[in-house]
Amino acid sequence: MLTLVSLRQISLTDCTQTNVSEELMLIGKACRFVECISSVGVVGSFACLHTKSRNMAKSKFEYVRNFETDDTCLRNCYIVVRLDGRNFHKFAEQHTFTKPNDNRALGLMTRSAHSVMEELEDIVIAYGQSDEFSFVFKRTSTWFKRRASKLMTHVASQFSSSYVFYWKDYFGEQPLLYPPGFDGRVVLYPSNRNLRDYLSWRQADCHVNNLYNTVFWTLVQKGGLTTVQAEERLKGTLAADKNEILFTEFDINYNKEAALHRKGTTLIWEKRDETIVKRLKLPNEEEKEVPVTRSRRRVQSYHTDIIGDQFWEEHSDILEADNC
């Protein structure tokens, strides 16, 4: 059976013995011959040769793959990916964020977190405050084969790109001066109690930081103190002392401040019924509008306490059984 190589050899040999017109004639015959034999299956041999060469495409450099480390997350554990804004104090200053809380910035953080959850549906709950957000993957998740690096980089890139993409929706014509940065980490929690304690820790952190910032900036903006004086005034004070300063000096009841600022933002999946109108064509070719109700899972926001039991009792589908 002739191969492509032998055809090439024939045409080259004959070309040395003929003029230009004969060369072209031989080449044309060779091409028609290849078309002919391909129709009876010889092309399969060529395809086979191509497949073999592709499968055998290894090189002496391939050993470097052995340097990759196994970062598969332990099974039966909740995977938490936490993002933190990189150098966000400077970012907030340069973009003139409102002190102590900028609702535009908080709304943008929440919208970016929505985008992450909609992209990765194995995230069962997310919690955010200030410039951070934690995303909890269900313990049975097999996304990206549970590779920590894949999960973290996907969450970070989706969040960062969403932050830039939705910037104008929250800041209007105010320009984004430079790309924001977020670093991430992956932590595993083996039990429901461990996970709840982690989320409680983050919400407690939200309360402590927000109370301090509220008093600090009230002393500066309404009390006329400098930032150094306000910091000195609050040094060594407890939560009760800070509440007392707000109430007695500025008539501010901290418990009546916006729940968004005091409690942070919790995102979960919920099924909601929605009704749409469909046009149906009747047998007499008339059209009729008919309401159709269907249930859809959507990401919902809450600004509520997640340290106590009530939230978890009302949303018992978030946590998986500990006996997995």
Looking at the structure of the chain, the number of domains it has is: 1
> Mean pLDDT across the stretch 131-149?
95
**Helix 103-119, helix 148-165: angle, nearest 10:** 130
What would the DSSP string read from start to end of 194-214? HHHHHHHHHHHHHHHHHHHHH
Averaged pLDDT of the chain: 85
Angstrom distance (rounded) from CA 181 to CA 86: 5
Band (92; pLDDT cuts 50, 70, 90):
very high
| CATH code assigned at 154 | 3.30.70.3000
In a domain, 286, yes or no: no
Residue 219 has pLDDT above 50, yes or no: yes
Q: Which residues are annotated as a binding site for GTP?
A: 84-89, 130-131
In a domain, 281, yes or no: no
Q: Structural domain of residue 146, as residue ranges?
A: 78-200+259-265
pLDDT of residue 42: 42
pLDDT tens-digit series, residues 103-127: 999 999 999 999 999 999 999 999 9
- Report whether 84 contacts 182 (CB < 8 A): yes
pLDDT of residue 249: 96
In a domain, 92, yes or no: yes
pLDDT tens-digit series, residues 163-184: 999 999 999 999 999 999 999 9
How many CA atoms lie less than 13 Å away from 95 in the CB half-sphere? 23
Residue 264 has pLDDT above 60, yes or no: yes
Residue 93 has pLDDT above 80, yes or no: yes
pLDDT of residue 31: 45
> Mean pLDDT across the stretch 215-240?
96
In a domain, 64, yes or no: no
Residue 26 has pLDDT above 60, yes or no: no
Handedness of CA 254, 256, 258, 261 (dihedral sign): positive
In a domain, 39, yes or no: no
Band (57; pLDDT cuts 50, 70, 90):
low
In a domain, 143, yes or no: yes
In a domain, 110, yes or no: yes
In a domain, 107, yes or no: yes
